[in-house]
Amino acid sequence: MKSERVAVVVGTRPEIIKLAPVIHSLGGRALVVHTGQHFDDNMSRSFLDQLRLGQPDLHLAIGGETRGAQIGMATQAIEAFLLDAQPAAIVVQGDTNSGVAGALAANSARIPLVHVEAGMRSYDRAMPEEHNRVLIDVLADMCLVPHETNAAALRHEGIAESRIRVTGSTLRDAIDIIMPTPTERTELIAARGVETNRFVLATIHRAENADSDANLGAILRELAAIPLPVVLPLHPRTRGRALEFGLDDELAALQVCEPIGYREFISLASEAALLVSDSGGVQEEACIVKRPVVIVRNSTERPEILGTFAHLVAAGSAIGDKVRELLERLPAVHEQLAALPYPYGDHAAEKVVQAIDELSARA
C-alpha cells in the first residue's frame, strides 16, 4: 500500500510560519521535520506554539553551524528519515539551508519533492538565499509559486510547465490562524508603549545589512532620525553584529527588543504608520495589513509590489528620505493601500495539498 504520509521540513521562523497552514491542512498525514536551524525559543518554540504545531516527528540541532555543515548534517539525517518513513512526498519552503538539505535528501532517497514559495528570484548572486532557491527549484518535482511572476521566472529557466503550479502564498493562511482581534491588537501595542499610526516597526537581518559595519551603522542612524518611535525587534544575528561593531549608542536611540512572537508582531505591523525591513515575509505582510514597507536592500524577489506596498532603497540616507516622504502624506498612503487587493492569492495551503496529492498520484 502506498504511504499517505507527507514529510514537511521546517528549520527557521519563516518556514514555521508559512508551512503551518500546510501542516494543518495535511492533518494526521504530516510528518514534521524541524532541523533546528533556528533554535532560540523566541525564534522557534513560540512560533510552533502560537501556530498550534505540536512536537516535530524529527528534531535536529544544526543551529549555529556553518552553511556547509548545516546542509550536510541535515541532508544526512533527513535522508535516513525518508528512507525509513517512505512518505508519498516531502515539502520544503523558501530559500534556507534547511530547504536545500530537504531537497537533496529527497533526491537521494527518491521521494517526490514539493517546493513551496518556488520561483522567487532577486537575481542577486551575492545572496546565499538566491543560490538556495535556485538549487531547490532545479530539484523539485513540483514548484508551487506565490505569483504569476514566479511562474514566468521558472519557465524562463527551462522548468517544464508540468512542474509549475500557481498556488499563491500560504502566509495569508498563517495570519488567519493567529490574527488577534482589533481590541487584542490595541492591548498588545499599548503594552509596548506605542499608539496606532504613531510608530514605525523595523526588522533588519539580511547579510548585506547585518554583516556590514557601514550599512548596519547607517541603517540604525537613519532609523534613529525618524520623528516617531521605532520598534526594532532584533534578530540574533543583527544583535551579535551590532555589538561586535560597537553600535551600542545607535541601538540605544531605538526601542530595541528581543524577537517577538507572531501575534504581537502582526499586531504591531497592522497598527504601525509604516514598516522598514529587509525581510521577505514582512513585504508580504505589508500587503495584508495594508501598510507601506520601505525595503532596505539591493534587490527584491517581489517586484510586483514595488511602487505600491513596497519601496526599495539602499542602506543610507534614502531610508530617511523615503520614510519622511511617506509620513508627510500618511493618511492618503494608507487609504490608497487599503483599496489595493492582496497580490498573492488565497486558500494557498489547500492548493498546496492538492498539488502534493496530484504529484503523489503520478509517482
Pick one of 199, 265, 309, 344: the residue that binds ligand UDP (CB under 6 A).
Answer: 265
232 binds ligand UDP (CB under 6 A): no
Q: Could you tell me the three cell numbers for 352?
A: 498546496
115 binds ligand UDP (CB under 6 A): no
Binding mask 12-41 for ligand UDP (x = CB under 6 A): -xx--x------------------------
271 binds ligand UDP (CB under 6 A): no
Stretch that binds ligand UDP, among 63-71, 152-160, 279-287, 314-322 (CB under 6 A): 279-287
282 binds ligand UDP (CB under 6 A): yes
| Euclidean distance between the first and the last CA atom of the chain, given in angstroms as a whole number | 13
Dihedral (Cα; 317, 318, 320, 326), 10-degree rounding: 170
Stretch that binds ligand UDP, among 51-59, 276-284, 328-336, 349-357 (CB under 6 A): 276-284
Just list the catalytic residues.
205
Question: 64-69: long-range contacts at Cβ-Cβ below 8 A with a sequence spacing of 24 or more?
Answer: 64/39, 67/97, 67/128
Q: Could you tell me the three cell numbers for 199?
A: 510608530
Least distance CB 101 / ligand UDP (angstroms): 16
Instruction: Write the Ramachandran bin of 343: left for phi over 0, alpha for psi from -120 to 50, otherwise beta.
Output: alpha
Cβ nearer to ligand UDP, comparing 179 with 337? 179
| CA pair distance 179, 175, nearest whole angstrom | 5
Least distance CB 28 / ligand UDP (angstroms): 26
Pick one of 37, 279, 300, 360: the residue that binds ligand UDP (CB under 6 A).
Answer: 279
Q: Please give the angle made by the CA atoms of 329, 333 and 338, to the nearest 5 degrees.
A: 155
In one letter, which amino acid is 30? A
Taking CA atoms, 15 is separated from 98, 100, 136, 188, 271, in Å, by 9, 13, 14, 24, 24
Cβ nearer to ligand UDP, comparing 263 with 351? 263
Nearest to 298 by CA among 316, 275, 285: 316
Q: Could you tell me the three cell numbers for 231?
A: 520598534
Cβ nearer to ligand UDP, comparing 25 with 203? 203
Least distance CB 47 / ligand UDP (angstroms): 7
Site for ligand UDP in 185-224 (CB under 6 A): 203, 205
Cβ nearer to ligand UDP, comparing 25 with 209? 209
In one letter, which amino acid is 9? V
Stretch that binds ligand UDP, among 153-161, 247-255, 260-268, 345-353 (CB under 6 A): 260-268
Q: How many CA atoms lie within 13 A of 233 on its CB side?
A: 17
Pick one of 81, 262, 309, 344: the residue that binds ligand UDP (CB under 6 A).
Answer: 262
**Residue ranges binding ligand UDP (CB under 6 A):** 13-14, 17, 203, 205, 233, 259-260, 262, 265, 279-282, 285
